[in-house]
Amino acid sequence: MSDSFTIIVPERVMIPEEEARALGKRMLTWLREKAWVGNPLPGCILTRELGYRLTKNAAEIILPEDLSLFTWVADHCDQQVYGYLAIDVADELKVVHHSGQGGITSAVCPGCGQDIGEQYYDLIETWWNAEGNEDVICPACQQPSPLPAFRSEPVWGFSNLSFQFWNINARFSDDFLAAFAKELGEPVRLVTGKV
């Protein structure tokens, strides 16, 4: 069985480490107060950070039509869990959260609206190799734009802070994502995939 992930990634890239950790902690407190996540799991998860199990209450934050998908018997542990959350602050300030299996099929420039397709990989590489968070130049219109402003399919994320939900096998409701962004204080995007 492969592992699936749904990652909530802030739009903002290169968040100073101390601030990213504080934001992660604050969001964990909020999620626990809402009783959507519970106790930390024992060390039987894929990610290096502590994982927090999702509770049955977390059924409130996913789409009703996906309720039937919201079960998962862990094959990393000898217990049944409803997936888990790991909050990660990367060691590096620049991070690429990709969708795992399969690549980008389209990437639309915010300036000219053209789909630059696989040329987006070159822009990601340029951004990655630059010193700071420099804008990238669209190959179609030559306008500079922030890398995350391109709308790619599937969606990729670029923040060093990420909220990684593993094996929930369900989609979050728009209400939950809006509440999450409001609590975080900035916009987020969703990256989904499998490893």
CA angle 181-3-14, nearest 5°?
40
Three-state DSSP state, 121: helix
Bridging pattern class, strands 151-153 and 37-40:
unpaired
Task: Tell me if the bond preceding 146 is cis, omega within 30° of 0.
Answer: no
When the beta carbons of 100 and 111 are compared against Zn ion, the nearer one is 111
When the beta carbons of 112 and 130 are compared against Zn ion, the nearer one is 112
Q: How many residues bind Zn ion (CB under 5 A)?
A: 6
**Token pair of 151, please?**
């709308």
Cβ at position 89, least distance to Zn ion in Å: 32
When the beta carbons of 67 and 112 are compared against Zn ion, the nearer one is 112
Which part of the chain contacts Zn ion (CB under 5 A), choosing from 46-54, 80-88, 133-141, 167-175?
Answer: 133-141
Bridging pattern class, strands 84-89 and 161-166:
antiparallel
When the beta carbons of 25 and 121 are compared against Zn ion, the nearer one is 121
Which part of the chain contacts Zn ion (CB under 5 A), choosing from 37-45, 77-85, 140-148, 185-193?
Answer: 140-148
Tell whether residue 141 is a contact of Zn ion (CB under 5 A): yes
Q: Are 154 and 105 in contact (CB under 8 A)?
A: yes
Measured CA to CA in angstroms, residue 87 lies from 33, 95, 132, 143, 163 at distances of 16, 14, 24, 35, 5
When the beta carbons of 133 and 145 are compared against Zn ion, the nearer one is 145
Which of residues 90, 137, 140, 190 is near Zn ion by CB under 5 A?
Answer: 140
Residue type at position 38? G
Cβ at position 189, least distance to Zn ion in Å: 20
Cβ at position 2, least distance to Zn ion in Å: 35
Paired with 5 in beta bridges are 166, 193
How far is it, in rounded angstroms, from Cα 47 to Cα 165?
A: 10
- Of 91-130, which residues contact Zn ion (CB under 5 A)? 109, 111-112
Which of residues 87, 138, 168, 188 is near Zn ion by CB under 5 A?
Answer: 138
* Contact residues for Zn ion, defined by CB under 5 A: 109, 111-112, 138, 140-141
